[in-house]
Structure 1
Amino acid sequence: MNKRIVKEIRIETPTSQQAKKIPILLKKHFSEQLADFWKFGLETGFRTEEILNLKFSQFFYEQSYGEPRRLFCEIESRRGHISIYDRKLSSSAEEIFHKIKHKHPKSEFLFQSYRSRNVSNKEPKPLSRQAISRAFKEVGEILGIKLTPAAMRQLALKRIGVDVKTNTVG
């Protein structure tokens, strides 16, 4: 009989001081786009794959009577099964959205790749998970921590009071 050994994966979440330095270091050593990716992920708590696959066509405005207009986005999650849900964005996430939309009005993806060879001749694609992971890893090394995209999501969930181990609010 084969016994499966399950190893618990511990993700080190950055301290609040480290979290403040991360977008600064990402912008300095990589790009403003990667700094925006970190900030957007921290604001929304979306999974890396969900953020990378976000298209501008998935964003829409809604306004309740007497309320200001708010930006929502439709997320397609593939964790186990495909589910689509709408999420209201925070004002900080909305600012990032507008900044990117203004800077790249013809882009298809919110975090579209612009650096590959012959990018003008290719079909638009989002940034790669590998590029995100590499940048986070290098910034983590500067800060002396193991920084991963999963750590970004865990920090976002921790900030809103979700117990990461049990996925419950508490």
Structure 2
Amino acid sequence: MAEVQAIKKHETIQLIGHLLEMRCSKQMADIWNIGLNLALRISDLLAIQFDDIQGERLIVKEMKTGKQANIKLNHKVLMHIQDVRAEYPQHIYLFQSFRNQQSKNIKPRPLTRRAVTKAFALVGEELKLALGTHSMRKTRGYHLYQNTKDIGRVMKMLRHSSEGVTLRYIGITQDDVDKDFVELEI
């Protein structure tokens, strides 16, 4: 599996959302738009149940780390969630699978990671980008770092314990550090 990177241009971020909706489904575009704003791993994002949303907060236990994520939802995410809820009031999961929905004996399940990976890869191929499910989390971290230059805030948002891991994760390379030394003359 190819390593995915943060999407650095805002126009490309918007284009990805548009292409996901056009080529795949509105649900895939919602995953992209909501995922960018929550910075969760895909397993945690897909497992969100409407019961996990309490007012303007999302409270979930991360599967990988066991850490609790308590995220204040921004306006854009709240609007997307309200739209999904209005369209599918009977759903348990925010990103519920539509497979076997006619069968009464099958318990509702979230959309699979595999389906999302396939949709993202399709759009990534079209744009010649290594686009994957982790792109949302990395993109959020990258843009927070660019806006604040505060690696501590990015670490806290991503719930990382090492600055080095976070810098590599969001795609800050030695070339970026070298450029900062050259461009900032005191």
Per-residue deviation, 1:160: 1.3
Whether 2:51 is the aligned partner of 1:57: answer yes
Per-residue deviation, 1:84: 2.3
1:166 aligned partner: 165
Q: Which consecutive unaligned segments of at least 5 residues does structure 1 have?
A: 1-8, 62-70
Per-residue deviation, 1:24: 0.5
Residue from 33, 57, 69 that aligns with 1:39: 33
Cα RMSD of the aligned pairs, angstroms, is 2.2
Q: Report if the CA contact (8 A) 2:36-2:139 is conserved.
A: yes
For 2:35 and 2:126, how far apart are their aligned partners in 1? 20
For 1:14 and 1:83, how far apart are their aligned partners in 2? 26
For residues 129 and 10 of structure 1, do their structure 2 counterparts lie closer, same or farther at Cα, with a shift above 3 Å needed?
A: closer
Per-residue deviation, 1:85: 3.2
1:79 aligned partner: 64
Per-residue deviation, 1:132: 0.3
For 1:31 and 1:14, how far apart are their aligned partners in 2? 21
For 1:27 and 1:144, how far apart are their aligned partners in 2? 18
For residues 139 and 86 of structure 1, do their structure 2 counterparts lie closer, same or farther at Cα, with a shift above 3 Å needed?
A: same
Instruction: State the Cα deviation string for residues 121-141 of structure 1 (Å, max 9, x = none).
Output: 321000000000000000000
Whether 2:91 is the aligned partner of 1:107: answer yes
Whether 2:18 is the aligned partner of 1:24: answer yes
For 2:20 and 2:139, how far apart are their aligned partners in 1? 17
Per-residue deviation, 1:165: 4.9
Q: Which consecutive unaligned segments of at least 5 residues does structure 2 have?
A: 146-153, 156-162, 173-186
Per-residue deviation, 1:15: 3.4
Higher strand share: 1
For 1:84 and 1:102, how far apart are their aligned partners in 2? 27
Per-residue deviation, 1:143: 0.3
For 2:40 and 2:102, how far apart are their aligned partners in 1? 27
Look up the equivalent residue of 2:165 and give its one-letter code. T
TM-score by length of 2: 0.74
For residues 40 and 118 of structure 1, do their structure 2 counterparts lie closer, same or farther at Cα, with a shift above 3 Å needed?
A: closer
- Equivalences for 1:146-157 in 2 at 5 Å? 146-157=130-141
For residues 151 and 125 of structure 1, do their structure 2 counterparts lie closer, same or farther at Cα, with a shift above 3 Å needed?
A: same
For residues 139 and 165 of structure 1, do their structure 2 counterparts lie closer, same or farther at Cα, with a shift above 3 Å needed?
A: farther
1:141 aligned partner: 125
1:126 aligned partner: 110
For 1:128 and 1:44, how far apart are their aligned partners in 2? 18
* 2:134 counterpart SS class: helix
Identify the range of structure 1 (131-140 vs 10-19) with the bigger mean alpha-carbon deviation.
10-19
1:13 aligned partner: 6
